[in-house]
Amino acid sequence: MSEKRKELVVSAIENGTVIDHIPSDKLFLVIKILGLDNFNKPVTFGSNLESKKIGQKGIIKVQGKFFQDHEIRKIALAAPKATLITIKNYEVVDKRRVELPDHIIGIVKCVNPKCITNNQNVTQRFNLLDKDDVKLHCHYCEKITKKENFEFL
C-alpha cells in the first residue's frame, strides 16, 4: 500500500502578513490584541497545527495588512517565538522572528493597582528583565509583571 501525503490547503494571500509559530494557547490573544477580530479584510487562522519547533502552533494569515512596529511589539510579548512573513504578489519578501524590545511603552498594564499608571493619565513604561520567561519591570513603581499576568491595553 502506498503512502499518501496529507496536506492542509489554505489559500495563499496576494499581499499581507503571515504570523507563524504562535503557541496554540496564545492564538486568540494575538487575534484580539491586534484587532483582527474586527478587521475588514480576509483573516485566516489555524489552531493546534503540528510544529516541529514548538509541538503545536497557531498561524494567522492577514490579507492587505503589514504590521507596524507597535503591533509587532504586541505580538512579541504575547508570542515571543512567532515568525512574521511578509507576502507581496504571492511571494515571500521577508521572513523574520519577532524580537522583544528592551523597553515596552504603552502596551501592557502594570500589575500594581497602586501604580501611578493605573491611577493617573501616565503612559505605562517597562524594562524587559527576562527574555526567556518574559518579565517586565515597571519604570514607576518597580513591580515585576510576569507574562501570565499581562493585561494588554
- Tell me the DSSP string of the chain: -PPPPP-------SSEEEEEEEEGGGHHHHHHHTTGGG-SS-EEEEEEEEETTTEEEEEEEEET----HHHHHHHHHH-TT-EEEEEETTEEEEEEE----SEEESSB--S-TTSGGGTSS---EEEEEETTTTEEEETTT--EEEGGG--B-
Q: What is the pLDDT of residue 7?
A: 57
pLDDT given for residue 1 in this prediction: 41
Q: What pLDDT shows up at residue 51?
A: 74
Residue 2: what pLDDT? Answer: 46
Cell of 103: 523597553
* CB 116 within 8 Å of CB 88: no
Closest CA to 84 of 3, 16, 10: 16
Query: Rounded to whole angstroms, how far apart are CA atoms 34 and 84?
Result: 14
C-alpha separations of 49 from 20, 22, 43, 86 in Å: 11, 10, 17, 21
For the chain, give every domain's residue range: 16-97, 103-149
- The residues of the chain scoring below 70 in pLDDT are 1-10
What pLDDT shows up at residue 48?
Answer: 85
The whole-number pLDDT of residue 70 equals 92
Tell me if 144 sits within 8 A of 135, measured CB to CB: yes
pLDDT for the residue 6? 56
Q: What does DSSP say about strands 55-63 and 43-51: parallel, antiparallel, or unpaired?
A: antiparallel
β-sheet bridge partners, residue 108: 152
What CATH number does domain 103-149 carry, 3.20.10.10, 3.30.559.10, 2.30.30.20, 3.40.30.10?
2.30.30.20
Task: State the CATH architecture for 16-97.
Answer: 2-Layer Sandwich (3.30)
